[in-house]
Structure 1
Amino acid sequence: MQRFFLDIAYSGTAYHGWQIQDNAVSVQQKLNEALQKILRRDIETIGAGRTDTGVHAKQLYVHFDATGTLIPDADRFLHSLNALLPSDIAVRRLLPVATEAHARFDATQRSYEYHIHFNKDPFLLHKSWQIREIPDVEKMNLAAHYLLGKQDFGCFSKSNTQVFTNICTVKRAEWLWQDGKLVFHITADRFLRNMVRAIVGTLLDIGLKQKTPESILDVIQSKSRSQAGTSVPAHGLYLTEVIYPYITISS
Structure 2
Amino acid sequence: MSTNQRYFIELAYNGTAYHGWQVQQNAVTVQELLNKALSTILRHPIETTGCGRTDTGVHAKEFFAHFDIEGHGPWSMVDSKSSSYGLSTIDYGHKVRGLNALLPPDIAIKNIVPVHADAHARFDATSRSYQYHIHFNKDPFLQGYSWQLRDVPNIDLMNQAAAIMMEYIDFSCFSKSNTQVKTNNCKITRAEWVKTENGIVFHITADRFLRNMVRAIVGTLMMIGREEMQPEGIREIIESKNRSNAGTSVPACGLYLTEVKYPYQLVAPLAP
Scaled by the length of structure 2, what TM-score is found?
Answer: 0.89
Task: Return 187-196 or 147-156, whichever deviates more.
Answer: 147-156
Q: Contact conserved, 1:115 with 1:182, CA < 8 A, in 2? A: yes
Q: Contact conserved, 1:243 with 1:249, CA < 8 A, in 2? A: no
Residues 184-199 of structure 1 mapped to structure 2, 5 A cutoff: 184-199=202-217
1:179 is displaced (CA, Å) by 2.5
1:111 is displaced (CA, Å) by 0.3
- In 2, distance between residues paired with 1:209 and 1:233? 20
- SS of the residue corresponding to residue 158 of structure 2 reads helix
Question: In the alignment, is residue 35 of structure 1 matched against residue 38 of structure 2?
Answer: yes
Task: Return 168-177 or 59-68, whichever deviates more.
Answer: 59-68
- Residues 24 and 103 of structure 1: CA distance in aligned 2, closer, same or farther (over 3 Å): same
2:47 counterpart (44, 51, 58): 44
The residue that corresponds to 2:16 in the other structure is: 13
- In 2, distance between residues paired with 1:149 and 1:74? 44
1:175 counterpart (193, 197, 210): 193
Q: Contact conserved, 2:137 with 2:198, CA < 8 A, in 1? A: no
Question: In the alignment, is residue 57 of structure 1 matched against residue 73 of structure 2?
Answer: no
Q: List, as ranges, runs of 4+ consecutive aligned residues in structure 1 with deviation greater than 3 Å.
A: none
1:150 is displaced (CA, Å) by 4.8
Structure 1, unpaired ranges of 5+: none
Q: Which amino acid aligns with 1:134?
A: V
- In 1, distance between residues paired with 2:266 and 2:122? 17
- In 2, distance between residues paired with 1:97 and 1:23? 33
Question: In the alignment, is residue 71 of structure 1 matched against residue 87 of structure 2?
Answer: yes
Q: Contact conserved, 2:11 with 2:109, CA < 8 A, in 1? A: yes
Question: In the alignment, is residue 134 of structure 1 matched against residue 152 of structure 2?
Answer: yes
Q: Which amino acid aligns with 2:102?
A: L
1:125 is displaced (CA, Å) by 1.0
1:248 is displaced (CA, Å) by 5.0
2:103 counterpart (85, 92, 107): 85
Output one character per residue of 1:137-171: Cα deviation in whole Å (capped at 9) or x when no partner. 00000000011145100000000000000111000
Residues 225-240 of structure 1 mapped to structure 2, 5 A cutoff: 225-240=243-258
Q: In proportion to residue count, which structure has more strand?
A: 1
Q: Which amino acid aligns with 1:240?
A: T
- SS of the residue corresponding to residue 199 of structure 1 reads helix
Residues 98-247 of structure 1 mapped to structure 2, 5 A cutoff: 98-247=116-265
Task: Return 219-228 or 205-214, whichever deviates more.
Answer: 205-214
- RMSD over aligned Cα, in angstroms? 1.3
The residue that corresponds to 2:27 in the other structure is: 24
- Residues 31 and 248 of structure 1: CA distance in aligned 2, closer, same or farther (over 3 Å): closer
- SS of the residue corresponding to residue 22 of structure 1 reads coil
Structure 2, unpaired ranges of 5+: 78-85
Q: Contact conserved, 1:149 with 1:171, CA < 8 A, in 2? A: no
Scaled by the length of structure 1, what TM-score is found?
Answer: 0.97
- Residues 198 and 179 of structure 1: CA distance in aligned 2, closer, same or farther (over 3 Å): same
- In 2, distance between residues paired with 1:112 and 1:249? 22
Output one character per residue of 1:186-216: Cα deviation in whole Å (capped at 9) or x when no partner. 0000000000000000000000133111000
Identity score, percent: 61
